[in-house]
Structure 1
Amino acid sequence: MTDLTHIAVLDDEHDITLLLANYLGSHGYRVSQLHSGRSLLELMGKDAPVLVLLDLGLPGEDGFAIARQLREHWHCGLVIVTGRGDAVDKVVGLEVGADDYVTKPFDLRELLARIKAVLRRIAPATPAVPVSRPAPRPLLQFAGWELDTAARRLLRPGGAEVTLTSGEFDLLHVLSTHPGRVLSRDFLLESTRGRESGPFDRTIDVQIGRLRRKLETDPERPQIIKSVRGAGYLFVPGVETA
């Protein structure tokens, strides 16, 4: 088995999968070309890729349903690459856990930059961090919850693990390392996605909504992550380190 980073490209257009396989292969990636949701799920069971490029417009298949299956059963990067550029589709793509959303036609260099950005976010944390940001802490505890920053895991009160996407983990990490401070959307966007990811307007709001559904007893009346009108979001509970 090669040590090259494995990326799966799922698209019903063979020309596109071949184009991406050749281009990404020339940049040091190992690429699997797939043309149906079933073939992707079979691959996930025997040689799971680190990242999936997923087209939504698969004949006779629901691309969003495939994305949900990936998020429910596997930890991997997910970039939706599709001709569906409607704002509603983009929001739904984020809701089901996509790390990024790219519309066709796309620039190969931009797509590569987005792929690299997602891979950096899902890679294990490294010791070096900007001096302007908090140093990594191994275990953050708040309101009975535990965020294990080394293993990138969230444990609910009682110890059961809650599955987070890479974007959700990064956002919760930033919030929990700034307790009691109102953080703007721009700050959260820059801290979690970086400049080169080209995020769309509602990225942070959608991810906050997903986190609330996982953290809050009543997501409609949040007590852990509160909105501050016109300013951003506030992480309410105190945080202890271990």
Structure 2
Amino acid sequence: MSDAVVLVVDDDPDIRSTVRAILERDGLSVIEAATGTDVDDALSRRALSAVVLDLRLNGEDGMEIAKRIRSRSGVPIVILSANDDVIDKVVCLEIGVDDYVTKPFHAREFSARVRNAIRRNPQQGRNDPPVPPAPSNSITFGDWRYDLEFGTLHSQETGEVILTTYEHKILRAFVEQPRKVFSRDALLDLTAGRDWSPFDRSIDVLVAKLRKKLGDDMKQPRYIKTIRGEGYSWLVNVSTARLDL
């Protein structure tokens, strides 16, 4: 991970300096940006491994910047914000953000979460759509191959589908224990903790996003079933595979 490059976006130079010191201490290279224009320029010019983004920039909405990043790149996005509001967190889930860290934060935990987002990303520092990785620790269900290491889905019809960190954690829990009923609380505990997903609605958003990516119909589900008053259950068995789809 020594060649990983992280873009830190914050309009406070002191925050940028602090984040830079934390990440560089753990072997990551850091470039800085203070505005959305700086972000656009960096995405165009550099191969990025992750973006650390503040939601409240002077004169700009970090949510809109995150949407713009996600529309053009699968690079992991880690939000770093003083705002602990659940609505912001849910909206970030819907955008496809990979993690959400609130200020103040613990330096080692923050660095670990950034490095984890980078490690899971099959792009390995590329800003363009990723090339499907070679099959590794993968399983199959329906028409899908699911790579447990990289958190990606692939089918002949759809091609490569990238999961966010939390989609990956929930899907992995489902496929490793098919037909088990998971309560929302259990799924909350499987994600990065309630600091990120503090209310049931966050899990509902994640499950809805998974269903969309899988092409699953909530009314006639093939994969994820809603158990009224209890939670969710995975409907199909899976098999281990090393397939070149």
The answer to whether the superposition gives a TM-score over 0.5 is yes
Deviation, 1:219, is 4.2
Q: What residue identity is the alignment partner of 1:117?
A: R
Q: How far, CA to CA, are the matches of 2:190 and 2:89 in structure 1? A: 21
Q: What residue identity is the alignment partner of 1:225?
A: I
Give the SS at the match of 1:52.
Answer: strand
Structure 2: unaligned runs, 5 residues or longer: 122-135
**Alpha-carbon contact 2:99-2:113 (below 8 Å) kept:** no
Is 1:46 the counterpart of 2:42? The answer is: no
Q: CA 1:30/1:121 → structure 2, altered by over 3 Å: closer, same or farther?
A: closer
Give the SS at the match of 1:158.
Answer: coil
Q: CA 1:27/1:139 → structure 2, altered by over 3 Å: closer, same or farther?
A: closer
Task: Summarize deviations over 1:16-50 as a string: whole Å, max 9, x none.
Answer: 21232234334433221111122223222333332
Q: How far, CA to CA, are the matches of 1:227 and 1:163 in structure 2? A: 23
Give the SS at the match of 1:48.
Answer: coil
Deviation, 1:154, is 0.8
**Which residue of 2 is the match for residue 114 of structure 1?**
110
**Which residue of 1 is the match for residue 198 of structure 2?**
201
Deviation, 1:180, is 1.4
Q: How far, CA to CA, are the matches of 1:240 and 1:118 in structure 2? A: 31
How many residues matched? 226
**Alpha-carbon contact 2:55-2:81 (below 8 Å) kept:** yes
Q: CA 1:216/1:38 → structure 2, altered by over 3 Å: closer, same or farther?
A: same
Q: What residue identity is the alignment partner of 1:102?
A: V
Is 1:178 the counterpart of 2:140? The answer is: no
Q: What residue identity is the alignment partner of 2:235?
A: V
Give the SS at the match of 2:32.
Answer: strand
**Which residue of 1 is the match for residue 146 of structure 2?**
147
Give the SS at the match of 2:57.
Answer: coil
**Which residue of 2 is the match for residue 64 of structure 1?**
63
**Which residue of 1 is the match for residue 75 of structure 2?**
76
Q: How far, CA to CA, are the matches of 1:158 and 1:20 in structure 2? A: 41
Q: How far, CA to CA, are the matches of 2:54 and 2:114 in structure 1? A: 17
Q: CA 1:114/1:21 → structure 2, altered by over 3 Å: closer, same or farther?
A: closer
Q: How far, CA to CA, are the matches of 2:145 and 2:25 in structure 1? A: 41
Q: How far, CA to CA, are the matches of 1:118 and 1:220 in structure 2? A: 37
Give the SS at the match of 1:12.
Answer: coil
**Which residue of 1 is the match for residue 8 of structure 2?**
9
Identity %: 34
Q: CA 1:121/1:103 → structure 2, altered by over 3 Å: closer, same or farther?
A: closer
**Alpha-carbon contact 2:23-2:30 (below 8 Å) kept:** yes
**Which residue of 2 is the match for residue 239 of structure 1?**
238
**Alpha-carbon contact 1:77-1:119 (below 8 Å) kept:** no
**Alpha-carbon contact 1:153-1:162 (below 8 Å) kept:** yes
Could you tell which deviates more after superposition, 35-44 or 142-151? Answer: 142-151
**Which residue of 2 is the match for residue 86 of structure 1?**
85
**Alpha-carbon contact 1:71-1:165 (below 8 Å) kept:** no
**Alpha-carbon contact 2:9-2:16 (below 8 Å) kept:** yes
Give the SS at the match of 1:123.
Answer: helix
Q: How far, CA to CA, are the matches of 2:225 and 2:13 in structure 1? A: 46
Could you tell which deviates more after superposition, 91-100 or 43-52? Answer: 43-52
Could you tell which deviates more after superposition, 170-179 or 65-74? Answer: 65-74
Q: What residue identity is the alignment partner of 2:30?
A: V
**Alpha-carbon contact 2:9-2:53 (below 8 Å) kept:** yes
Task: Summarize deviations over 1:180-201 as a string: whole Å, max 9, x none.
Answer: 11123344344443x6x83332
Is 1:32 the counterpart of 2:31? The answer is: yes
**Alpha-carbon contact 2:26-2:111 (below 8 Å) kept:** no
**Which residue of 2 is the match for residue 133 of structure 1?**
none
Deviation, 1:117, is 2.9
